[in-house]
């Protein structure tokens, strides 16, 4: 009964499958998200439908040229048929009339549509608008309540008559002659009007970039009266250098102005109704950092702003923001990561338009690819808080071409190409799908790839090789993670010529080596033109020598069973040999196989397939398609007739010999077959493979290259996977990827059994499984123990069988025997956790509790032992645990035992050390005696002593560290003393003339020095120096209070009171003074009457002096002794020499006559100091014992006497 029911189920499945058309769509993969191209304008109809205009060519992967109407859910409104009206026209502005008709401004003029999208023929513009480049661009439109239409833009004529950039039309399209613009808008640069708005009073505000209106300078914005004249009550701060992109009117009449190149306004400002700046609207000092393209005011007064900017007031804000009515940012509108555009090299990221829905939602259009990390190509609908409105769905499929497909044995398949998203989230260039068409979330590629993937190859071990642009070559594991065992070198262009580097072809040899073809000139820095063979780890296989290689791209590579390699591409030379057909076969070492001689011209070869009989099917550029015999000759049994009309990009060889072909072609043998066809083994068309309209064009272009099937795979159940550049297949919309039912082709049902025997006697742990190939899935299993899965467990020794049935009810049986194996499985053991204990004073520990290891054996454990010592020393000890089972299988594990020494060393610091400074104020590295330490392990001693010890007290910390990182410290004191006095140079004596008055004297501090530093220099000089000699004592002191002194003589000069004797005539040396001659009498002076001349002749021997008065100063000379009335005293004066003067130690006196010659020394107060006889003509007198100061030397002999002043230093 069970078998009969099973048969019926499979039979019904077979009937259902057979009833399906093999070319019908099995699974679509969504639509291209959004638009390909810029959106400039959107309008919401009262019924919620959305009119969209711009410069785009596709919507959801299907051609929609620049203009479309969407349903409220984001799908295309198929009832709106515009019939290519805008095929060559970029739409800039759209307005909706109350009757539902649509007025559209574009780069060639203006058109009005009926509600169904057809052209309204009642709106007649004649020959329309014109500009210098033969088109009349309309940028902005406004509809008046009376139905008249105001249009502004770049046009200069309407219906052949000059019309400079603005016009008002009647409802039928004729010019409204009551609107007189005169000369219109003019300027040094061609004017360009961007925006026009209509006030409630009918006045019109026009903005753009221009200089004059009606020959009056109005600086890029003007307000017109209803008749077209200038409203002179409206005056603004703008100049012709400003570019105004958008205007918006508030309900209170104030005007929001989006401006550019206007530094003071920073992208946006608000004008009062008279044109003056509204200072209550403040966007900060930095504002927007780039253009503002559009402004829209919500009913609550908040302001939506869109443009090319990336920051607002220096804070990141990509292209969209909402402001409060005062210009501050509205933080309730959160754009998150905001808008992103993947390629800004041609068109920058921008928001160009807003449309407000009655429920507060916002439609934003522009030039972008994603919003808040969700793919949203150029249009998005937002909730009031800035989040995405997910109910507005413009497509969630792949966003670009599929170029490669690889199918796994489990029916999962990998897809790669140039796409960057799927299902609205980033998916960079590679994705894996489950058999049911859902995304395989276990395939984790991280961020994916930065450039296009061209080719895939799944290895027998489940790893996948990937090649693509920018020299991409990598290998991933089955879960998508990088295979770290594959490390390839860099691909580079040839040194002869720079070109784009890409990998185009991959092939795998039986030995695991990888052949790589593409467009490159070097591998790992060495010449390798267009083809290389790598070892399995990615290193270059040097045994494969291609010499100078190819001169053009390698597009396809096949490896024959005999190891020979067929290479196809766009080349004409190999190793300097001419290859006229883009095809060659190489021997396994890289040399040319001369037995392979193609006899057909192929041009560029794009793809190849190798048949089991060794024949080669080749497709290429321009529709070249041929089958060659194994020697390269043309297989004449393969008849393609007049073949394909365009490129062949992909092929798949079915098990029944039929060939699936994909590419850019439209026809085969004059039969239409858009981009895919199936051929019989003889080359004829398989008429059972009816694709209907096939794949339709995915991109708007006059080039057929822009629509293609680039990759074809067939799964084991016959399902066909097709990828490329297309938007729909057989009128089923599916962008870039689709699966078809295909045709199941039976293959022999085979099975392999694997088993695990019972390892232990009496056990029930055996298991078995079967692996099935061929036949048709799904498979059913019936074991001899009635199990129905592919794997069974819990088996005891004995005989078993499994009957496998496929979907075609084909059966196969596998028999096997479970036995008891010799137990060779080693037990497992996990050592106890590591143990750490502290050492005792003996530096060891006994009786440590080690714990018990965890053990297991498939049969039984018989013993567990260890090699632990009785006493564990300080440090690390590894204890080895050993487990044995009943079959003497053994395993070991190690346990770490750590005995820690936590006792710090004992350290005694050296005694205090006292040192005396010498030449320097620092002592260099004195000999410090190490401290005394004790510990149970080796101790290292360090200190923090400086290299130089300064004056004073330094604390040196000694640190003792034992082998177990225990640390102790002790402190030693080092005292450095300075006992060296400072040095001082004796200053030079100073003499000043002060007209016989006491004087102040500026003293210069003497030079001093010290081995450390001088602390102070002082002297005992009086504030006022008296006339005569004063000794000043200088004292220098260092920081250690060591002192030194030096004396300096300061002389304040009075009058010279010296008497000379010339032949008995006494003469005062000072001239031009008043004189009074005196007779000295026992310390008193008696004036000599009538003796007031400079000279005086004594009348008798005696002692005489002279009082000299000059300049209010008086001085009396010392008394001069006249013994005889002759010249002897003066002879003594003239014959006497005294030197040196000043002196420090000795004075020499030279005298011609020594008869009764004597010396008397007095201090300046007249106190007698010493006397000495002068016995020779040269006498040296030692005065070193005298203190510094001024002394009087009285020298006499028989001839007379004289007095000399001597300075002692």
Q: Residues 423-442: what's their mean pLDDT?
A: 93
CATH topology of domain 1131-1209: Immunoglobulin-like (2.60.40)
Residue 1174: Cβ within 10 Å count: 20
| DSSP code, position 11 | H
pLDDT tens-digit map of 49-69: 999 999 998 888 888 899 999
- Enumerate residues 6+ apart whose C-beta is below 8 A from 665: 623, 644, 645, 646, 647, 648, 673, 675, 677
Residues 1028 and 990: their CA atoms lie apart, in Å, by 11
* Of 106-115, 571-580, 667-676, minimum mean pLDDT range: 571-580
Closest to 970 in 3D by CA, of 927, 910, 915: 910
Mean pLDDT throughout 1184-1191? 85
In tens, the pLDDT along 201-214 reads 999 999 999 999 99
Mean pLDDT across 87-94:
94
How many Å apart are CA 320 and CA 350, to the nearest integer?
8
CA distances to 52, 120, 611, 910, 1027 from 70, in Å: 8, 20, 50, 95, 119
pLDDT at 529 over 80: yes
Fold topology of 906-977: Immunoglobulin-like (2.60.40)
Q: How far apart are CA 1148 and CA 1138, in angstroms?
A: 6
Distance CA 772, CA 409 (A): 11
Name the burial class of residue 784, with classes exposed (0-12), middle (13-18) and buried (19+) by CB atoms within 10 angstroms of its CB.
Answer: middle
CA–CA gap between residue 944 and residue 1056 (Å, rounded):
71
| CATH 1.10.10 applies to domain 242-333 | no
Question: Among 24, 26, 17, 9, which residue's Cα sits nearest to residue 745?
Answer: 17
C-alpha closest to that of 907 among 946, 933, 870: 933
Query: Highest mean pLDDT: which of 447-461, 940-954, 1115-1129, 1177-1191?
Result: 447-461
Burial of 364 (0-12, 13-18, 19+ CB in 10 A): buried
Which pLDDT tens digit goes with each residue over 806-839? 888 999 999 989 998 888 889 999 999 999 998 8
What distance in Å separates the CA atoms of residue 35 and residue 485, rounded to the nearest whole number? Answer: 42
Average pLDDT for 930-941: 84
The pLDDT of residue 261 = 56
As a whole number, the mean pLDDT across the chain is 89
- Tokens standing for 168? 């008002």
Q: To the nearest 10°, the Cα dihedral for 1162, 1168, 1172, 1173?
A: 90
Checking if the pLDDT of 1075 tops 90, the result is no
Residue 496's pLDDT band (cuts 50, 70, 90)? low
The pLDDT assigned to 1126 comes to 46
Contact 556, 568 (CB under 8 A): yes
DSSP 918-934: -SSSEEES--PPPPEEE
Determine the 3-state secondary structure of 1136 from DSSP: coil
Taking alpha carbons only, the member of 576, 587, 617, 586 closest to residue 600 is 617
Residue among 978, 976, 975, 974 at smallest CA distance from 919: 978
Indicate the helix (H) or strand (E) that contains 255: strand 255-260
How many angstroms separate the CA atoms of 1129 and 1126, rounded?
8
What is the rounded CA–CA span in Å between residue 488 and residue 182? 72
Instruction: Give 858-927 as a DSSP string.
Output: SS-EEEEEE---SEEESEEEEEEEEEEETT--EEEEEEEEEEE--PPPEEEPPPPEEEE--SSSEEES--
Decide which of 3.40.50.150, 2.60.40.10, 3.30.70.1400, 2.40.170.20 is the CATH code for 983-1053: 2.60.40.10
Domain 750-818 belongs to what topology?
Immunoglobulin-like (2.60.40)
pLDDT at position 706 is: 66
Question: At a CB cut-off of 8 Å and minimum separation 6, what does 703 contact?
Answer: none
| Rounded distance between C-alpha atoms, residue 1056 and residue 568, angstroms | 127
Q: Taking 80 as the threshold, does the pLDDT of residue 308 lie above it? A: yes
The class level of CATH for 828-900 reads: mainly beta
Domains 906-977 and 1131-1209 alike in fold: yes
Cα angle 47, 48, 51 (rounded to 5 degrees) comes to: 105
Instruction: Check pLDDT > 90 for residue 98.
Output: yes
Token output for 273: 């109704």
Place of tokens 């050390």: 913
1026-1067: per-residue pLDDT in tens? Answer: 877 889 999 999 888 999 998 989 888 777 778 888 777 888
Q: Which two tokens stand for residue 814?
A: 């596998």
Long-range CB contact pairs, 79-88, < 8 A, 24+: 79/116, 80/116, 80/117, 81/116, 81/117, 81/118, 82/113, 82/117, 82/118, 83/117, 83/118, 85/111, 85/113, 85/117, 85/119, 86/53
Q: pLDDT-based confidence at 701, cuts 50/70/90? A: very low
On the question of pLDDT at 189 being above 70, the answer is: yes
Residue 4 DSSP one-character state: H
Using the predicted structure, report yes or no on whether residue 38 has a pLDDT greater than 70.
Answer: yes
User: Is 90 exceeded by the pLDDT of residue 841?
Assistant: no
Structure tokens at 39: 């959106």
φ/ψ of residue 1130, rounded to 5 = -80, -25
Domain ranges of the chain: 1-30+639-745, 242-333, 750-818, 828-900, 906-977, 983-1053, 1131-1209
Q: State residue 543's pLDDT score.
A: 96
Which pairs count as long-range contacts for 844-851, CB under 8 Å and 24+ apart, including other chains? 844/871, 844/872, 844/873, 844/874, 844/899, 845/871, 845/872, 845/899, 846/870, 846/871, 846/872, 848/872, 848/897, 850/879, 850/895, 850/897, 851/895
Number of H helices and E strands in the chain, helices first, is 2, 110
3-state secondary structure 1087-1116: ECCCCCCCEECCCCCEEEEEEEEECCEEEE
User: How far, in Å, CA of 862 to CA of 871, rounded?
Assistant: 27
Q: What pLDDT does residue 348 have? A: 83
For residue 709, the SS3 value is: strand
CA distances from 1139 to 1071, 1145, 1148 (A): 27, 11, 5
């Amino acid at each position: 009964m069970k078998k009969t029911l099973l048969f019926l189920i499979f039979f019904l499945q077979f009937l259902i499958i057979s009833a399906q058309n093999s070319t019908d769509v099995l699974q679509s993969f969504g639509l291209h998200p959004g638009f390909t191209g810029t959106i400039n304008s959107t309008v919401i109809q009262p019924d919620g439908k959305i009119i969209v205009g711009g410069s785009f060519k596709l919507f959801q992967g299907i051609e929609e040229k620049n203009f479309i109407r969407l349903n409220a859910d984001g799908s295309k409104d198929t009832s709106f048929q515009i019939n290519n009206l805008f095929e060559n026209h970029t739409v800039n502005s759209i307005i909706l009339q109350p009757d539902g008709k649509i007025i559209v401004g574009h780069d060639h003029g203006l058109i009005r549509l009926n509600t169904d999208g057809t052209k309204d023929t009642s709106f007649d513009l004649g020959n329309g608008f014109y500009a210098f480049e033969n088109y009349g661009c309309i940028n902005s439109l406004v509809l008046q309540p009376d139905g008249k239409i105001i249009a502004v833009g770049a046009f200069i004529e309407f219906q052949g008559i000059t019309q400079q950039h603005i016009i008002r039309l009647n409802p039928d399209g004729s010019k409204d002659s009551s609107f007189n613009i005169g000369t219109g808008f003019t300027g040094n640069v061609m004017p360009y009007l961007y925006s026009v708005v209509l006030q409630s009073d009918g006045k019109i505000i026009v903005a753009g970039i221009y200089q004059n209106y009606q020959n009056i300078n109005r600086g890029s914005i003007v307000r017109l009266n209803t008749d077209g004249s200038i409203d002179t009550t409206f005056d603004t701060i703008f100049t012709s250098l400003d570019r105004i992109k958008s205007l918006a009117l508030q309900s209170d009449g104030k005007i929001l102005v989006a401006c550019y190149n206007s530094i003071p306004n920073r992208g946006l400002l608000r004008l009062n109704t008279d044109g003056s700046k509204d200072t209550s609207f403040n966007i900060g000092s930095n504002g927007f950092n780039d253009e503002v393209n559009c402004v829209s005011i919500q009913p609550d007064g908040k302001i939506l702003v869109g443009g090319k900017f990336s920051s607002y007031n220096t804070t990141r804000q990509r292209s969209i923001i909402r402001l409060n009515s005062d210009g501050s940012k509205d933080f309730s509108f959160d754009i998150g990561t905001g808008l992103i555009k993947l390629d800004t090299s041609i068109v920058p990221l921008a928001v160009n338009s807003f449309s407000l829905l009655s429920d507060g939602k916002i439609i934003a259009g522009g030039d972008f690819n994603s919003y808040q990390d969700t793919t949203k190509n150029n249009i998005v609908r937002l909730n009031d808080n800035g989040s995405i409105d997910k109910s507005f769905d413009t497509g969630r499929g792949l966003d670009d071409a599929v170029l490669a497909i690889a199918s796994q044995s489990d029916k999962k398949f990998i897809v790669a190409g140039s796409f960057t998203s799927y299902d609205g989230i980033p998916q960079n260039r590679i994705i894996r799908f489950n058999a049911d068409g859902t995304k395989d979330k276990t395939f984790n590629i991280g961020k994916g790839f930065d450039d296009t993937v061209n080719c895939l190859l799944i290895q027998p071990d489940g790893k996948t090789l990937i090649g693509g642009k920018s020299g991409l070559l990598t290998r991933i594991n089955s879960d998508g993670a990088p295979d770290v065992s594959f490390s390839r070198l860099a691909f580079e262009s040839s040194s002869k010529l720079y070109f784009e580097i890409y990998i185009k072809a991959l092939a795998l040899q039986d030995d695991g080596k990888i052949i790589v073809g593409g467009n490159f000139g070097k591998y790992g820095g060495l010449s390798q033109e267009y083809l290389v063979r790598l070892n399995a780890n990615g290193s270059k296989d040097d045994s494969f020598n291609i010499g100078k290689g190819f001169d053009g791209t390698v597009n396809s590579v096949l490896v024959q069973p005999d190891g020979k390699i067929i290479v196809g591409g766009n080349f004409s030379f190999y190793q300097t040999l001419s290859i006229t057909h883009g095809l060659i076969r190489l021997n396994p070492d890289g040399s040319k196989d001369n037995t392979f001689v193609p006899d057909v011209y192929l041009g560029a070869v794009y793809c190849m397939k190798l048949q089991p009989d060794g024949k080669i099917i080749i497709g290429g550029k321009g529709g070249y398609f041929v089958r060659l015999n194994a020697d390269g000759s043309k297989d004449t049994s393969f008849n393609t007739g007049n073949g394909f009309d365009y490129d062949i990009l992909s092929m798949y060889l079915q098990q029944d010999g039929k060939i699936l072909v994909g590419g850019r072609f439209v026809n085969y043998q004059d039969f239409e077959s858009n981009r895919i066809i199936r051929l019989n083994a003889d080359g004829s068309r398989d008429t059972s493979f009816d694709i209907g309209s096939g794949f339709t064009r995915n991109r708007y272009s006059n080039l057929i290259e822009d629509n293609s099937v680039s990759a074809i795979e067939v799964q084991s159940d016959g399902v066909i996977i097709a990828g490329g550049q297309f938007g729909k297949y057989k009128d089923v919309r599916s962008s870039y990827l689709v699966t078809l039912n295909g045709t199941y082709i039976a293959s022999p049902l085979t099975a392999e059994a694997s088993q695990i025997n019972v390892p232990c006697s009496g056990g029930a742990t055996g298991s078995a499984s079967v692996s099935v190939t061929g036949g048709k899935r799904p498979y059913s299993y019936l074991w001899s123990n009635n199990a129905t899965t592919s794997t069974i467990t819990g088996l005891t020794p004995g005989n078993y069988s499994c009957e496998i049935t496929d979907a075609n009810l084909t059966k196969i049986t596998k028999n096997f025997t479970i036995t008891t194996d010799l137990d060779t499985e080693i037990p497992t053991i996990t050592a106890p956790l590591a143990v750490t204990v502290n050492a005792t004073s003996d530096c060891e520990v006994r009786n440590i509790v080690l714990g018990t290891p965890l053990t297991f054996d498939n049969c039984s454990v018989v013993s567990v032992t260890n090699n632990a010592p009785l006493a564990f020393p300080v440090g690390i000890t590894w204890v080895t645990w050993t487990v044995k089972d009943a079959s003497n299988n053994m395993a070991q594990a190690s346990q770490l035992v750590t005995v820690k020494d936590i006792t710090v060393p004992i350290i005694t610091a050296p005694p205090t050390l006292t040192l005396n400074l010498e030449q320097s104020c620092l002592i260099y590295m004195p000999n410090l005696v190490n401290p005394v330490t004790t510990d149970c392990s080796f101790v290292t001693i360090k200190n923090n002593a400086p290299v130089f010890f300064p004056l004073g007290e330094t604390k040196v910390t000694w640190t003792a560290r034992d082998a177990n990182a225990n640390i102790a410290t002790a402190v030693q004191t080092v005292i450095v003393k300075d006992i060296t006095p400072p040095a001082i140079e004796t200053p030079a004596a100073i003499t000043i003339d002060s007209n016989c008055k006491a004087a102040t004297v500026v003293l210069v501090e003497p030079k001093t020095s010290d081995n450390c530093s001088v602390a102070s220099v002082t002297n005992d000089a009086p504030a006022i120096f008296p006339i005569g000699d004063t000794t000043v004592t200088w004292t220098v002191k260092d920081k250690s209070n060591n002192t030194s002194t030096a004396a300096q003589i300061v002389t304040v000069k009075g009058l010279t009171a010296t008497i000379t004797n010339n032949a008995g005539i006494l003469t005062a040396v000072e001239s031009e003074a008043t004189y009074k001659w005196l007779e000295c009498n026992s310390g008193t002076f008696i004036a000599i009457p009538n003796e007031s001349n400079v000279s005086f002749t004594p009348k008798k021997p005696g002692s005489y002096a002279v009082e000299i008065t000059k300049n209010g100063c008086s001085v009396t000379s010392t008394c001069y002794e006249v013994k005889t009335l002759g010249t002897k005293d003066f002879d003594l004066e003239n014959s006497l020499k005294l030197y040196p003067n000043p002196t420090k130690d000795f004075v020499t006196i030279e005298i011609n006559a020594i008869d009764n010659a004597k010396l008397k020394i007095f201090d300046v107060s007249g106190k007698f100091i010493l006397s000495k006889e002068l016995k020779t003509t040269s006498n040296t007198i030692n005065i070193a014992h005298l203190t510094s100061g001024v002394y009087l030397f009285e020298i006499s002999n028989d001839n007379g006497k004289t007095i000399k002043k001597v300075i002692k230093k």
